[in-house]
Structure 1
Amino acid sequence: MYLVGIDIGKLKHSFCLLEKETGEILVEPVFFENNRDGFNALLSSFKHLPQKDILIGMEDTGHYNLALLKFLLDRNYQVALINPVATNLTRKMQG
């Protein structure tokens, strides 16, 4: 299984790709535009991997993530929305 983590921003997003079992980082954090060209650039970064083995996690930021979410769901990717408040609390608890 491969994990794609996406940090959502207003104009740009960033992502990294890792192999779940080993934790190996396959793609270091990369920025991409919040538009169709950027979304296609994202997909090209892992097009060599079987789509069924990819899980994409992204912040649920209100509306900045909606275009990307629709783009990915329309292409049948598995997407998990992550509440940024919950991740912030977890970060604080872990110090």
Structure 2
Amino acid sequence: ADVLGPYDVFEGSAAPSLRDGMQIPANDPMMYVSAMAQATKNLGFAVTAAVTFENPYALARRLSTLDHVTEGRIGWNVVSSYLNSAALNHGMSAQMSHDER
């Protein structure tokens, strides 16, 4: 799984996830795929990208590039994101409602 901000649901804050190191730091998994694809020829890769915060053209371009360098071994886990911290990290005042996402 990928997240665009620290987990902030439990106890209403990011403090527990920061204290316990839950997906911190949150590196971009797409950055690792091309290197891993060069190390193996028998594995596929799937990356998570939240449609709530992705620019459609830029995402399509990155996925197309990964499709090329992995010789078709890339998949996309489509999510809409739910963390308020993700919305804050993208300049919003709060996360959109479920139906808006």
TM-score tier by shorter-chain length is 0.3 to 0.5
Higher helix share: 2
TM-score by length of 1: 0.37
Between 1 and 2, higher relative CO (CA 8 Å, sep ≥ 6) is seen in 2
TM-score by length of 2: 0.36
